[in-house]
Chains A and B, each alone.
Chain A
Amino acid sequence: MKHGGDIWLGDLLSSWQALAPGDEATRAAMARLLGFELATVQPEAPAAAPSATPPAPPAPETTARHPPPVEVSPAGAKQQYFVSDLPRASEPLYGRDPQREWQAVEALARADTATRAAMSPPELFRPEWARTLVTTLAARLQPGRAIDEVRLVRDLAGGHPLERIPRLPRWTLGLGVQLLIDVAPGMEPFAADQIALSEHFAEAVGEAHVEEWLFADCPLRGVFAEADTEVWQPPQPGVPVIAVSDLGLGAPADHLARASVQEWLELAGQLAARGSRLTVLSPWPRARVPAALAERIALVEWDRPTSAAQVRRLLERHDG
């Protein structure tokens, strides 16, 4: 608290000077408390004792600093390829043994965490904005405790009876959020994004304050957490609801069960009657959403250019 900035090297030196750590383990423990990780430095080899015989000339630099040369296969050596014993496409389908086909393919080793992270596609929201965006999406404009002095003075000056003290509104996460995740066919490509998004909400709003349900096509048809489908229940009045859905836009042409505009409007209406706001987070651009729907619900594009400021402006309009 001697300065307002982040913890820096000076804090580490101050603690070492004040507490005089006596060994490397204690120094490292103090560093960890401050968020530093000490690098291990290999001590230099001790100088060789003087010898009567002159030292051998140093090895050529190339052998000391460069990796050993790559072994090259002798010319003409046969390259080993994996040859599948699966039946060719030209083979007739009948007569195939599906069990044999599965067994013929070696299971790929599971990628480790680092590899998975490196291979996974980038998140739909910009990672550095994700936390703020999620916080903004889950927040509601509620009367705060600070008094709205301007309104108060205006009412008094106008001679209006003061029925209640006007309060300035403030954004709060205190109500929690109901998170509805669409697992209809059109959202399958975004399954991993949905999991990451759910984790973002749990971190930002608090796991205990996020009520999460899965649904297919429209929550009014039922929701589920595991296997059994239940009737969707609206949250407590005022709690914001966020549906992560493509609104049926991404469903294959033969997916006839996609929800209608009317169903979504019915959902928004039920929530509005209870003072809750419905926000739909959609991976499709706003222009593709039917105008009747886009006008009535808070529609946020789940995409890189979306910023917290845009979302806040949108939600301010819907929260009034």
Chain B
Amino acid sequence: MSTDTTLVYTGLIAPLANEALPPGSGEALDAPDRRDGRLYDYDPQLQMAVEVALATGRPLLLRGEPGSGKSSLAAFIARNLGYRYYETVITSQSSAQDLLWKYDLVRRLADAQTRGAQDDPTPLSDYDYIEPGVLWWVFDRASATRRGWQADSTCPEPAPAGEPNAALNATRAADHAVVLIDELDKADPDLPNALLVPLGSMAFDVTDIRDRPVKVALAGGATPAEGRSGQPMSRLLVVITTNEERELPPAFVRRCIVHRLEHPGIERLVDIARLHFNRPPKRPFGEEQEKLAREIAKRLDTLRGERAESRRRLPGTAEYLDAVRAALTLGIGVGGGPAWEALQRATLLKDDWQAT
């Protein structure tokens, strides 16, 4: 997504940087779908979209084909900014309430029956059945840990809730967070609309606790973070992705900063492969590897052209990285007979290979 246009502005944040990978590592760093935030190939337009989202406090809505890197961005930003990181993947079964909290009514019912049978007069506490959702953790980590319980509650303090991504977040800023709401287009239209108020006001009421009113709001009051230039910036970044299988409600889109991740060209794909697979000194990305990566990028480009005409699924960057990884590891070259054909079917064509 390179561009000839140079963007001139005073950044709130330093240019987003990649973290050097351990030499010759074959550990989880090589996970095909990176969520550790250590590597990401971004362009100036994307960095500016992030900065505008931070400057305005609006959610960043990322559009683009599957496999274009939408879901990997949020962790990358969180690591760069030192913000806590949370994520949730939306499905057709998801509801807006899942992102706020869940109440385990069935367990409560079972406990009530057990106590009734044992003539135990101890009242049940709602706090024990509350499980904070991802937005609760994002808005107020301390409140989420206590499941909304406060010192003036009439109920005993519940066991602490388990924080998602706890080990990593323990090293990050307490009042700053990035949250990824992935594949929002999979949800029924009610879900984005139901998120308008919590995301707009950065607050919501937990209505399942009858002990006392519990309001969750962005911790730390109204004090914003400060950018490099001394200008204020949001302590919270909401990154939402959509594969555009369905249109999102216009009212929701109007409240977002919208950026589309375009499919990279051949040379940028080679750069992305270099970023992911260069592990000197044991596994350097030398001339030979670069040639192979470029050949696969050209093949991908041809395939995309052919398949676009027949409106079939287009292989993207994720499939490209799989193909390069497999070809490098297995020593298979493009056009290398049945081995290449098999690799191409498995990584690039997938379910559509018979139609090609």
Contacts and interface: CB of A to CB of B under 8 A. Distances in A.
Contacts of B247: 131, 203-204
Contact of A206 (B201, B234, B246): B246
A126 B109 CA distance: 48
B199 interface: yes
Given A17-B231, A144-B95, A1 B9 contact: no
Contact of B188 (A2, A131, A146, A173): A173
B188 A5 contact: no
Nearest to B94: A145
Interface stretch (A25-33, A68-76, A98-106): A25-33
A18 B93 CA distance: 39
Contacts of A22: 8-10
B259 A4 contact: no
A212 B159 CA distance: 52
Contacts of A135: 189
Contacts of A206: 185, 245-246
A91 to B, nearest CB: 48
Contact of B52 (A19, A20, A145, A174): A19
Contact of B58 (A1, A152, A170, A171): A1
B342 interface: no
Contact of B56 (A14, A145, A147): A14
Given A5-B200, A19-B55, A206-B246, A33 B257 contact: yes
A2 B234 CA distance: 9
Interface residues of B, number: 54
Given A29-B5, A29-B48, A1 B246 contact: no
A226 interface: no
Nearest to A12: B56
Contacts of B231: 17-19
Given A19-B12, A206-B245, A34 B56 contact: yes
B258 interface: yes
B254 interface: yes
A208 B351 CA distance: 14
A30 B47 CA distance: 11
B51 interface: yes
B275 interface: no
Contacts of A146: 95, 97
A1 B185 CA distance: 21
A165 B57 contact: no
A1 B188 contact: no
B95 A145 contact: yes
B257 A34 contact: yes
A137 to B, nearest CB: 13
A309 interface: no
A7 interface: yes
B329 interface: no
Contacts of B201: 1, 3-4
11 contacts: A1-B200, A2-B56, A7-B56, A18-B229, A18-B233, A19-B10, A26-B9, A34-B58, A131-B247, A171-B190, A206-B246
